[in-house]
Amino acid sequence: MNGRETTGTPYAPHGDAETREMLDAVGVDTEEDLFDIPESVRFDGDLGIDARTEREIRAEMADELAKNRDLTELLGRGHYDYYVPSAVEHLADRSEFLTSYTQYQPEVTQGFLQALFEYQSLLVELTGLGIANCSMYDAATALGEAATLAERLRVTSGSRVLVPEHLESGRRAVLANYVAGTDLVVESYAMDDGNADVDALTDRVDDETVMVYAETPTVRGCIEEHLDALGDLADDNDALFVLGSDPVSLALLEEPASVGADVVVGSASALGLPQSYGMDLGLFACREDFVRQVPGRLVGASTDADGTRTYTLTLQTREQHIRRERATSNICTNQAWVALRAAMHATGLGADGLADLAKRDVADARDLAARVDDVKGVQAPHHDRHHLREFVAHTDQPAPAIGDDLVDEGYAVHVLDEHHVQLCTVGTTEAERDDFVAALTEVAR
Amino acid sequence: MNGDAPDGDDGGDASADGFHFDQARWSDGDRHEPLSSEKRTTEAEYDDSPLPDDLTRDELELPKLEEPDLVRHYTRLSEMNYGIDSGPYPLGSCTMKYNPAFTEDVAADPNGLVHPDRPVAGVQGTLSVLYSLQDYLARIGGMDAVTLQPPAGAAGEFTGVLVADAYHEHNGGDRSEIIVPESAHGTNFASAALAGFDVVSLPGGEDGRVDLEALEEALSEDTALLMLTNPNTLGLFERDIEQIADMVHDAGGLLYYDGANLNALLGRGRPGDMGFDVMHYNVHKTFATPHGGGGPGAGPVGVVDELAEFLPDPQVVEAPDASPLKYEFETPERSIGKVHGKYGNWLVLAKAYAYIARLGNDGLNDASAKAVLNANYLASQVEYDVPYGPFHHEFVASAGDQDAADVAKRMLDYGVHPPTTKWPEIVSEALMTEPTEIEGKRTLDQLARAFNAVASEDDETLAAAPERTTAARIDQTEAARDLRLSWRALDD
Per cent of chain B over pLDDT 70 is 96
- Is A10 part of any domain? no
With CB atoms and an 8 Å threshold, state whether B409 touches A347.
no
Q: Does A384 touch chain B (CB under 8 A)?
A: no
pLDDT > 90 fraction of chain A, expressed in percent and rounded: 94
CB within 8 Å of chain A, chain B residues 388-417: 390, 392, 408-409, 412, 417
Residue of chain B with shortest Cα separation from A181: B196
pLDDT in tens, A15-56: 999 999 999 999 999 999 999 999 999 999 999 999 999 999
Q: Are strands B430-433 and A282-286 parallel, antiparallel or unpaired?
A: unpaired
Kind and range of the H or E element at A379?
strand A378-379
Question: Cβ B241–A38 below 8 Å, yes or no?
Answer: yes
Q: Are residues A202 and A293 in the same domain?
A: yes
Q: Is the pLDDT of residue B376 over 70?
A: yes
Residues A247, B57: Cα–Cα separation, whole Å: 13
Query: pLDDT value at position B8?
Result: 42
Please write the tens of the pLDDT for every residue from B199-247. 999 999 999 999 999 999 999 999 999 999 999 999 999 999 999 999 9
The bridge status of strand B315-318 relative to strand B327-330 is antiparallel
Q: Indicate the pLDDT class of residue A445, thresholds 50, 70 and 90.
A: confident
Please name the helix (run of DSSP H) or strand (run of DSSP E) that holds residue B42, with its range, or none: strand B41-43
Q: Does A333 contact B126 at a Cβ distance shorter than 8 Å?
A: no
CA distance B107 to A406: 28
* pLDDT for res A118: 98
Q: Are residues A276 and A130 in the same domain?
A: yes
Average confidence score pLDDT of chain B: 95
Q: Domain limits at A426? A: 72-83+350-444
- pLDDT at residue B19, rounded to an integer: 62
List the 36-65 stretch of B: residues with Cβ below 8 A of A.
36-37, 41-46, 48-52, 54-58, 60-65
Contact A351 B32 (CB under 8 A): no
Residues of B in contact with A60 (CB under 8 A): 357
Residue A301 within a domain: yes
CB nearest to B440's CB, from A13, A61, A254 = A13
Same domain, A90 and A196: yes
**Plot region of A272 (φ>0 → left; ψ -120 to 50 → alpha; else → beta):** left
Contact A91 B408 (CB under 8 A): no
* Position B146 pLDDT exceeds 90: yes
Helices within B101-171 (DSSP H only): 101-107, 124-141, 153-170
- For residues B336-353, average pLDDT: 98
| Residue A85 pLDDT exceeds 80 | yes
Residue-wise pLDDT tens digits, A362-381: 999 999 999 999 999 999 99
Q: If you write DSSP's letter for every residue of B340-403 in order, what string do you get?
A: SSSSS-HHHHHHHHHHHHHHHHHHHHHHHHHHHHHHHHHHHH--SB--S-SBSS-EEEE-TTS-
Instruction: Give the pLDDT of residue B326.
Output: 98
pLDDT in tens, B87-128: 999 999 999 999 999 999 999 999 999 999 999 999 999 999
Chain A contact set for B109 (CB, 8 A): 61-62, 65
Say whether B486 and A121 touch across the interface (CB within 8 A): yes
Rounded to an integer, the average pLDDT of A59-74 is 98
pLDDT grade, residue A6 (50/70/90)?
low
Q: Say what the ipTM of the complex is.
A: 0.97
Q: What is the pLDDT of residue B492?
A: 63
Q: Does A58 touch chain B (CB under 8 A)?
A: yes
Domain endpoint, select from A344, A370, A405: A344
The domains of chain B, with CATH numbers, are 102-350 (3.40.640.10)
Nearest to A256 by CA among B449, B434, B57: B57
Is pLDDT at B16 greater than 80 in this prediction? no
Pair (A95, A106) in one structural domain: yes
On whether residue A205 sits in a domain, the answer given is yes
Nearest to B83 among A95, A139, A386 (CB): A95
Predicted confidence (pLDDT) at residue B405 exceeds the cutoff of 90: yes
Provide the strand spans (E) within A197-272: 209-215, 240-245, 263-267
CA distances from A347 to A266, A350, A351, B41, B152 (A): 19, 5, 8, 9, 28
CATH of the domain at A411: 3.90.1150.10
The phi-psi region of residue A324 (left if phi > 0; otherwise alpha if psi is between -120 and 50; otherwise beta) is left
| Judgement on whether residues A225 and A320 belong to the same structural domain of the protein | yes
pLDDT at residue B10 in the model: 40
The CATH number covering residue A230 comes to 3.40.640.10
Average pLDDT over residues A182-196: 97
B15 band by pLDDT with thresholds 50, 70 and 90: very low
Residues A230 and A176 in one domain: yes
In the prediction, which pLDDT does B410 show? 96
- What's the pTM value of the predicted model, to 2 decimals? 0.97
- Nearest Cβ partner of A57 from B106, B297, B363? B106
pLDDT of residue A155: 84
Stretch B425-450: mean pLDDT: 96
Interface A:B, Cβ pairs < 8 A? 681
pLDDT digit string, tens, across residues A296-353: 999 999 999 999 999 999 998 888 888 888 889 999 999 999 999 999 999 999 999 9
Within-domain flag for A110: yes
Q: Where are the beta strands (DSSP E) in B106-265?
A: 145-147, 177-181, 198-202, 223-228, 254-259
A169 occurs within a structural domain: yes
Q: What pLDDT shows up at residue B297?
A: 97
H or E segment to which residue A303 belongs: strand A298-303
Do residues B288 and B260 lie in contact, with contact meaning Cβ atoms separated by under 8 Å? no
B170 touching A, CB under 8 A?
Answer: no
Per the structure, the count of domains in chain A is 3
Q: Are strands A160-164 and A185-189 parallel, antiparallel or unpaired?
A: parallel
Q: What's the whole-number average pLDDT of chain A?
A: 96
Looking at the fold, whether A228 and A371 belong to one and the same domain comes out as no
Q: Inform me whether the pLDDT recorded for B7 exceeds 70.
A: no
CB-based contact, A229 to chain B, within 8 Å: no
Q: Domain check: are A418 and A306 in the same one? A: no
Partner A contacted by B468 (CB < 8 A): no
Cis peptide upstream of residue A247 (ω within 30 degrees of 0): no
- Tell me which residue in A170, A223, A305 faces B338 most closely, judged by beta carbons: A170
pLDDT in tens, A89-103: 999 999 999 999 999
Judged by CB atoms closer than 8 Å, whether chains meet at B44 and A355 is answered as yes
Query: What single-letter DSSP state applies at residue B239?
Result: T
Percent of chain B with pLDDT over 90: 95
- Shortest distance between the Cα of B165 and any Cα of chain A, in A, equals 10
Confirm whether A279 is domain-assigned: yes
CA closest to B264 among chain A residues: A35
pLDDT band at B14 (very low <50, low <70, confident <90, very high): very low
Residues 6+ apart with CB under 8 A from A32: B369
Kindly state whether residues A246 and A360 are assigned to the same domain.
no
Cβ B485–A310 below 8 Å, yes or no? Answer: no
Q: Compare CB distances from A308 to B45, B70, B471 and report the shortest one's residue.
A: B471
For residue A6, being part of any structural domain is answered with no
Q: What is the pLDDT of residue B193?
A: 95
pLDDT at A323: 85
The β-bridge partners of B41 are: B63
